[in-house]
Chain A
């Protein structure tokens, strides 16, 4: 059974703070690592899909890095805003598009 872990489980930060979360995943049979943002009452939406060791991706104030050799990825949010409040999920993809295993998520609350 594949095990994908995320830490911390939850996080409360003040508006303007920068923060980061961790996703750890198996280093074998790796195809891609996904990050999703899941806001309350909405469906999860993709932030990044990363496939290569050393990948770094950025979208606005959010960025992510990938280390496939040691099996971890970091998601960074710079200058957190209340609208960033959501659960952030990572998912490990093996065997291209057949199996996506999600971590338990990190719930972020940004206080104004």
Chain B
């Protein structure tokens, strides 16, 4: 069966520091992968999605970036965090072979101080 993991679960970082959140999927190949963010009191905002290795689409201009170095690995990064980057980040993958639903990781809560 397929599983998705993301880490770290919780992160407290100072403004201006770098960020790396990692997401891996097991049990499937060539999935579509997504990074979402939930800011306080708001819904899920799509940040990036990827349909294959090295293919990244950005939905929102920001100081975050994403990379997909391997088929089942998706990384969210920043060189210098802003206060506004605080939020709950979710990685997800899309099941083309099943019911066509998104499966989400456990989430990473980022607090920028």
Contacts and interface: CB of A to CB of B under 8 A. Distances in A.
Nearest to A6: B43
Contacts of A52: none
A32 B44 CA distance: 17
B80 interface: no
B100 A102 contact: no
Main SS of chain B's interface residues? strand
Contacts of A36: 102
Interface of A: 6, 32, 34, 36, 43-46, 49, 51, 89, 91, 93, 97-105
Contacts, number: 54
A46 B49 CA distance: 19
Contacts of A100: 34, 46, 94, 102
Contact of B32 (A43, A51, A89, A98): A98
A100 B34 CA distance: 9
Contact of B49 (A99, A102, A105): A99
B104 A97 contact: no
